[in-house]
Amino acid sequence: EAQVTQNPRYLITVTGKKLTVTCSQNMNHEYMSWYRQDPGLGLRQIYYSMNVEVTDKGDVPEGYKVSRKEKRNFPLILESPSPNQTSLYFCASSSGPVRDEKLFFGSGTQLSVL
């Protein structure tokens, strides 16, 4: 089954404790992206990657890191999480330009930073 898998689904952590949210897709997609979703603000792009070893900042990259060492994986790293990073995070992938190929989203990771 074609899917984007994120882990964990729920995460509670404390300020400053490094964490990684994993994302994996099994569709051989070149394009992958991370979003955060906050009430009233919608989905905002954090980072995206057009292919292996190619990453770029989205709208809200501060406080986040990503890497794309393999085509299928695109982890999101929070080196020193802060409470304002409490949010619902989604990973997404696509085989081509977003307008032509739909974005497949993972089921989300609800992060709470205390």
Q: Does 92 bind other proteins (CB under 8 A)?
A: yes
Nearest of 42, 38, 34 to residue 106 by alpha carbon: 34
DSSP bridge partners of 51: 54
Q: Does 60 bind other proteins (CB under 8 A)?
A: no
Q: Does 81 bind other proteins (CB under 8 A)?
A: no
Q: Does 61 bind other proteins (CB under 8 A)?
A: no
Q: How far is the CB of 28 from other proteins (least distance, A)?
A: 19
Q: Does 26 bind other proteins (CB under 8 A)?
A: no
Q: Does 64 bind other proteins (CB under 8 A)?
A: no
Cα 96 off chain centre by? 18
- Cα distance between residue 4 and residue 35, in whole Å: 14
How many other C-beta atoms are found inside a 10 Å radius of the C-beta of residue 68? 20
Instruction: Rule CB under 8 A: choose which of 19, 64, 106, 111 binds other proteins.
Output: 106
Coil, helix or strand at residue 57: strand
- Per CB under 8 A, residues contacting other proteins are 4, 35, 39-45, 48, 50, 58-59, 90, 92, 97-100, 102-103, 105-108
